[in-house]
Amino acid sequence: MNSIYGYTREKLEAYFLSKGEKKFKALQVFEWLYVHKNSNVDTWSNIKKELREEIKKDFSFETPKIIREEKDTLTRKYLFELKDKEHIESVIMFHDYGISICVSSQVGCNMGCAFCESGRRKKVRNLEAYELVTQILEIEKNLNERISSVVIMGIGEPLDNYENVLSFIRIINDAKGLAIGIRHITLSTSGLVPKIYDLMKENIQINLAVSLHAPNDTIRNQIMKVNQVYNISQLMTAIKDYIAVTNRRVTIEYVMLKEINDSSKCALELATLLHGLNIYVNLIPYNETSHINLSKSDAKTIKEFAAVLKQKGINVTIRKEFGSKISAACGQLRSKEVEK
């Protein structure tokens, strides 16, 4: 039985048309689910009883269960148990402009990045669209607050689960869905070049973040297996084309790894690589994990790296550290659960 939370409004309209009903019924259902947060079909007073029974027969309303929560001052991390007893996690961060959530898109990940706890455990399966949507719904219910921005940067490679992630974006962006502004939605990819080209044709104005993490193929090959398939030259061509087609700025994610990619030479090389592009660089202090023998760059090194980029005319920010006390590195909480 399909979950109703995985249906875009257009897909739900097609369902009602197939039942001989008017397609505006889809709008009414969206309002009950996402505006009123009411999944009790029997109380949907503007839908006739016979149709409510059909809906109950045709759709599941089940959601993943939160089985663990860890808290830090500005961060909370949630471990979800899915219907098949697999586990994923989501992180929320409290900002002065609202609450953001980082959602998972897969159970495990096949990208195998050397610094990432998620990649230490292989991909089990893609998440269905409803399993992405309900991460937000369940956490909003837990907090009793609205989430205002979304980053698809948790466990998994979003572009490796392309169709489900696109459905998720359309549902949460829908004015009668979760009504999260399209420019408040960020998709992060490790660099699946063909899918970047697919995404640029979708005509959706989301934010694209690319996990570059190295200024050359030698370093990137060491820490990111994807580079052996789509190297930096191919990736940079895709980024340039994406900017040209969408007229949107691209974020370059760069995790700072001690004595690997954090030298001033690396900074100069990165500045040359990115010169003249409509991008900004987000330097990320590495969130260390006991299973991976890598260390984060010290604060002085990160500031010096940023200063070199600024001097060369590159827009750069240093990401504020969130959740280092609560297993917030991507995949840590799931790994603990699996290892139990």
Q: Which residue is catalytic, options 13, 70, 89, 157? A: 89
CA contacts within 13 A on the Cβ side of 99: 17
Q: How far is CA 270 from the centre of its chain?
A: 25
Structure tokens at 61: 């309303």
Q: Are 170 and 130 in contact (CB under 8 A)?
A: no
- Return left, alpha or beta for 203; rule: phi > 0 is left, psi -120 to 50 is alpha, else beta: left
For 178, which DSSP code? T
Cα distance between residue 170 and residue 163, in whole Å: 11
Cα distance between residue 116 and residue 77, in whole Å: 17
In angstroms, the Cα distances linking 331 to 41, 115, 231 are: 35, 11, 25
Q: Are 119 and 113 in contact (CB under 8 A)?
A: yes
In angstroms, the Cα distances linking 136 to 63, 124, 147, 152, 274 are: 11, 22, 7, 11, 34
- The helix-helix angle for 162-173 and 9-18 (nearest 10°) equals 90
Cα distance between residue 295 and residue 289, in whole Å: 9
Q: Looking at this protein, which amino acid is placed at residue 206?
A: I
Q: Are 182 and 189 in contact (CB under 8 A)?
A: no
Structure tokens at 219: 């370093």
Q: How far is CA 71 from the centre of its chain?
A: 20
Q: Which residue is catalytic, options 109, 116, 266, 330? A: 330
Active site residue 330: yes
Catalytically active residues, by annotation: 89, 330
